């Protein structure tokens, strides 16, 4: 357990005694438990459905062993979270004509549902990339890189820029190491980035 941060669906940290296998030995009949498992060393995230079945001594009737099954439902859970977020974000986007306040509300909505932090950049009237919204799960931990590298090559985006077509891009990154965050920090036109990692710079 020390290798992992184990959370329930509401984001509360779970102790080993809360896991279904341990509860079997305590005489309980636990239901399957959905947990969010994060590898502390790497920040890798998995959503797991944990089920435990007892192996009982035929004479005493006491539980001797627990058979634990961990079903990886990460992709399904991420899809559910994304759909839920998009539905709520659509409601927020339609609720106000003040785009800056709306984007601030969207950033707050993303944290911590989808990410540890969220930043939204737009291109202002001077053609400069401007930060209009930022929200962090731990505000004391928020730092904005002062000198961000140019965006990665993207032929399709360059062509759209040359034609002058408006373009809006949404990117959600997962399992990113702190040292790699700056490499993902910018993109031209309107950009919203949400990042989840176990340790943020």
| Cα 127–Cα 133–Cα 138 angle in degrees, nearest 5 | 140
Given 53, 72, 91, the domain boundary residue is 72
Whether the CB-CB separation of 81 and 113 falls below 8 Å is answered with yes
Report, in this order, helix, strand and coil percent for the chain, each rounded to 5.
30, 30, 40
Show the domain range for 164: 76-196
Walk along the chain (201 residues) and give the pLDDT tens digit of each residue.
889 999 998 889 999 999 999 999 999 999 999 999 999 999 899 999 999 999 999 999 899 999 999 999 999 998 998 888 889 888 888 888 888 888 888 888 888 777 778 888 888 888 888 888 888 877 666 565 444 444 444 434 444 444 455 444 445 555 555 566 555 543 333 334 444 443 333
The answer to whether residues 64 and 82 belong to one domain is: no
The answer to whether residues 56 and 89 belong to one domain is: no
The answer to whether residues 48 and 138 belong to one domain is: no
Q: Is the dihedral of CA 46, 49, 54, 55 positive or negative?
A: negative
The answer to whether residues 47 and 66 belong to one domain is: yes
As for how many domains the chain has, the answer is 2
Q: Is residue 190 part of a domain?
A: yes
Given 72, 88, 104, the domain boundary residue is 72
The answer to whether residues 123 and 142 belong to one domain is: yes
The answer to whether residues 146 and 173 belong to one domain is: yes
Given 43, 72, 101, the domain boundary residue is 72
Q: Is residue 201 part of a domain?
A: no
The answer to whether residues 96 and 9 belong to one domain is: no
The answer to whether residues 102 and 116 belong to one domain is: yes
User: Which run of H or E residues covers position 49?
Assistant: strand 45-56
Q: Is residue 89 part of a domain?
A: yes
The answer to whether residues 128 and 40 belong to one domain is: no
CA atoms within 13 Å, Cβ hemisphere of 108: 8
The answer to whether residues 118 and 85 belong to one domain is: yes
């Amino acid at each position: 357990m020390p290798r992992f941060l184990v959370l329930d669906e509401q984001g509360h940290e779970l102790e080993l005694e809360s896991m279904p296998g341990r509860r079997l030995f305590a005489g309980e009949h636990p239901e399957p438990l959905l947990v969010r498992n994060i590898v502390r060393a790497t920040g890798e995230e998995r959503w797991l459905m944990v089920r435990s079945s007892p192996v009982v001594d035929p004479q005493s009737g006491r539980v001797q062993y627990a058979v634990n099954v961990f079903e990886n439902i990460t992709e399904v859970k991420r899809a559910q979270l994304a759909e839920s977020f998009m539905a709520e974000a659509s409601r927020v986007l339609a609720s106000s004509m003040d785009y800056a306040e709306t984007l601030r509300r969207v950033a707050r909505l993303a944290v911590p549902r989808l990410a540890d932090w969220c930043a939204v950049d737009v291109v202002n009237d001077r053609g400069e990339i401007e930060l209009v919204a930022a929200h962090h799960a731990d505000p004391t931990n928020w730092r904005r890189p002062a000198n961000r590298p140019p965006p990665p090559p993207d032929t399709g985006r360059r062509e759209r820029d040359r034609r002058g077509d408006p373009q809006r891009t949404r990117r959600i990154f997962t399992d990113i190491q702190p040292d790699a965050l700056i490499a993902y920090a910018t993109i031209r036109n309107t950009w919203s980035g949400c990042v989840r990692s176990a340790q943020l710079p």
